Chain A
Amino acid sequence: MSTVLPAGTPAPDFTLHVTPDQQLSLKELRGQPVVLVFYPADWSPVCGDQVGLYNELLSEFRKFNAEVLGISVDGAWCHDAFAHDRKLHFPLLADFEPKGAVAKSYGAYRQGDGVCERALFVIDKDGIIRWSYVSPVAVNPGADGILDALEKLSK
C-alpha cells in the first residue's frame, strides 16, 4: 500500500525554500545523517504534536550528528510564523511550488488531500535512504523508529 521509497534507495535531491528568501538543498548536507520529516500541515492544535515533539528531542538526534528537516506543502511565510510560534530549532522546508513535488519524488504525497503523508526517512551521510516509515495520518509516530535507525547507522 505504501509507495514511500524503501531503504537502499538514493534519496532524491531537492532544493526548497527554508526561509522566504533562502533555499536549502539536500546535497548540502552530505557528510552527516539527515532525518526528513514529511507532515501534512503546520498549526495542528495539539501540545506535543509531532513537529513539536521532534523539536524537544533535537538533542537526542544531535547525538548522532543528524540534521532534521521538516517538509510540508505550506509556504515559507507560514513556516516562518509557525516556527516562531512553536520555538522550533530545526528548518521547515516549503514543498510549495510545484505543490508537493518533493513529497511525490519520495512517494510521500496524499493526492486526494493535497498534503504530504506523515512520512519519515533516515538518510545516511552518503545520501542513501536507510529507513523509511509512513504513519497513519492521524497518529504521531514518535521518535523511536528514527532513533533506532540513526543508532544502526552509527554502528
Chain B
Amino acid sequence: MSKLRVPVTSEDHAQGPADAPVTLVEYGDYQCPHCGHAYPIVKQLQRRFGNKLRFVFRNFPLREVHPQAEEAAEAAEFAGAHGKFWEMHDAIFENQQSLGDRLFVQLAHALKLDPEALAKSLRAGEFAERVQADFAGGARSGVNGTPTFFINGQRHDADFELEMLTAAVNEALPQKSRAAER
C-alpha cells in the first residue's frame, strides 16, 4: 500500500481546516478526463463531510499525452500566488474542453488577474519548478495515474466514484463522526 511521502504543509493548496480528522490529497492533471470526472465528486464529498475533511490538490501533469496540462498547472499556480488558486483550479476543470492559451487569458480577466502578467509567467516557466516538485513527490508516493487520491496519507486504490470515496473517508474517521454512505 503506497504512502504519501511529502507531508501536507501550509505551502499546499488546501480547503478545509488544517486540523480536520481526514485529509484527502489529490494528484491531478487539468487535461485528464478522469480528473474532470472526479472534480464534481470531490465537491460533493466536501459538502458531505464539511469541516471533517481537508482537501489538498497537487499537480501531476501527464505531459506526454496531455500537452496543455503543464501550462494549466502553472496558470493555476500563478493564480495561487495572487490568492486565487481555487477559483482558477475550479474554472479550468469547468472548462476542460476549451483548454488553451485563450482560455487562460479569459479566466485571468474573469478572476481579475493581470493577463499580461500571467502570459509572462507562463513564458518564463515561473512555476515550472513548483509543478515539478509536486510531480516528483507524487512519483515517490506511488501516484499511478490521474487522479490518484491519498486519504490520511494512504493511497486510495478503489474507484473514485462518490460511494467508494465516501466509504474510504468514513473509514478514516472516528466511529461517531461518520457520514451516511448512500
Interface of A toward B, CB cutoff 8 Å: 46-50, 52-53, 55-57, 60, 86-89, 139-145, 147-148
- C-alpha gap A139/B145 in the complex (Å): 11
From 26 to 77 in chain B, residues with beta carbon under 8 angstroms from any chain A beta carbon are 29, 32-34, 62-66
With contact pairs A53-B144, A57-B139 given, residues A87 and B32 touching in the complex (Cβ less than 8 Å) = no
With contact pairs A47-B145, A144-B140 given, residues A52 and B65 touching in the complex (Cβ less than 8 Å) = yes
- C-alpha gap A127/B75 in the complex (Å): 44
Nearest 3 interchain pairs by C-beta: A48-B145, A142-B144, A144-B142
With contact pairs A47-B32, A48-B32, A142-B2 given, residues A56 and B64 touching in the complex (Cβ less than 8 Å) = yes
Contact A143–B142 (Cβ < 8 Å): yes
Binary interface encoding of chain B residues 127-152 relative to chain A, with 1 for a CB under 8 A from any of its CBs, else 0 = 00000000110011111111010000
Contact A140–B145 (Cβ < 8 Å): yes
- C-alpha gap A46/B148 in the complex (Å): 14
Binary interface encoding of chain B residues 5-17 relative to chain A, with 1 for a CB under 8 A from any of its CBs, else 0 = 1000000000000
Across the interface, which residues of A come within 8 angstroms of B2, CB to CB? 142, 144
Q: How large is the interface on B (under 10, 10 to 19, 20 to 34, 35 or more residues)?
A: 20 to 34
- C-alpha gap A56/B67 in the complex (Å): 12
Contact A52–B62 (Cβ < 8 Å): yes
Judge if B157 is at the interface, Cβ distance under 8 Å. yes
Contact A48–B146 (Cβ < 8 Å): yes
Smallest Cβ-Cβ distance to B157: which chain A residue: A139
Interface of B toward A, CB cutoff 8 Å: 2, 5, 29, 32-34, 62-66, 135-136, 139-146, 148, 155, 157
Write the nearest CB–CB distance from B81 to chain A, whole angstroms: 25
- C-alpha gap A50/B5 in the complex (Å): 20
Write the nearest CB–CB distance from A48 to chain B, whole angstroms: 3
The CB with the most chain A CB atoms within 10 A, among B2, B5, B33, B64, is that of B64
Write the nearest CB–CB distance from A103 to chain B, whole angstroms: 22
Contact A47–B141 (Cβ < 8 Å): no
- C-alpha gap A57/B157 in the complex (Å): 20
Contact B65–A144 (Cβ < 8 Å): no
Contact A55–B64 (Cβ < 8 Å): yes
**A46 contacts which of B136, B141, B142, B145 (Cβ < 8 Å)?**
B145
16 contacts between A and B (CB under 8 A): A46-B145, A47-B34, A47-B146, A53-B145, A57-B139, A86-B64, A86-B65, A141-B144, A142-B2, A142-B143, A142-B155, A143-B142, A143-B144, A144-B139, A144-B140, A148-B140
Write the nearest CB–CB distance from B29 to chain A, whole angstroms: 8
Across the interface, which residues of A come within 8 angstroms of B139, CB to CB? 57, 60, 142-144, 147
- C-alpha gap A143/B136 in the complex (Å): 10
Across the interface, which residues of B come within 8 angstroms of A55, CB to CB? 64
What would 13 more interface pairs be, CB under 8 Å, given A47-B145, A56-B64?
A47-B66, A48-B65, A49-B145, A50-B144, A53-B62, A56-B63, A87-B64, A141-B142, A141-B144, A142-B142, A142-B144, A144-B139, A148-B140
